[in-house]
Amino acid sequence: MRHALAEAAQAALTGDVPVGAVLLGPDGSLLATGHNEREATGDPTAHAEVLAIRRAAAALGEWRLSGCTLVVTLEPCTMCAGALVQSRIGRVVYGARDEKAGAAGSLWDVVRDRRLNHRPEVVAGVLEEACSAQLTAFFRAL
């Protein structure tokens, strides 16, 4: 999670909401990183999770990321939760809950919806205070 927090800090430098993600392979090796780049690129889909998933798939040459773990500083939104399910990621670990847009247990629970064909394990609240503090500081400075 500390690596994801460092990624999140990079997002804030370009005016993006500080969310960072790292994607680990089944063996725990670092496959890819990402941080929000919506403001930097003008791409509404440039969320940290989506960018890390794209980069990991490119690195592996495979869209299926079975057995991989995504670590992200903020609970994934519905778009990112859908990407997690579609890429077959085995586990998502997140820091801060997102009561307004979270889709891994807070507002919705897309990733564990029994109607879907894949449901990753969810681990919530890892370094939650540090993740929340980074987001709070960003929004207070606006």
Instruction: Supply the residues annotated as catalytic.
Output: 49
- Residues forming a β-bridge with 4: none
d(CA 99, CA 45): 20
**Residue type at 33?**
T
Ramachandran category for residue 67: left, alpha or beta (phi over 0 → left; psi -120 to 50 → alpha):
left
User: Residue 68, annotated ligand binder?
Assistant: no
Q: Quote the distance between the C-alpha of residue 89 and its chain's center.
A: 11
Instruction: Kindly tell me the burial class for residue 112, based on how many C-beta atoms sit within 10 Å of its own C-beta (0-12, 13-18, 19 or more).
Output: middle
Percentage helix, strand, coil, to 5, in the chain?
35, 20, 40
Tell me if 47 is assigned to a ligand binding site: yes
- Binding-site annotation: residue ranges for Zn(2+): 47, 77, 80
- Binding-site annotation: residue ranges: 47, 77, 80
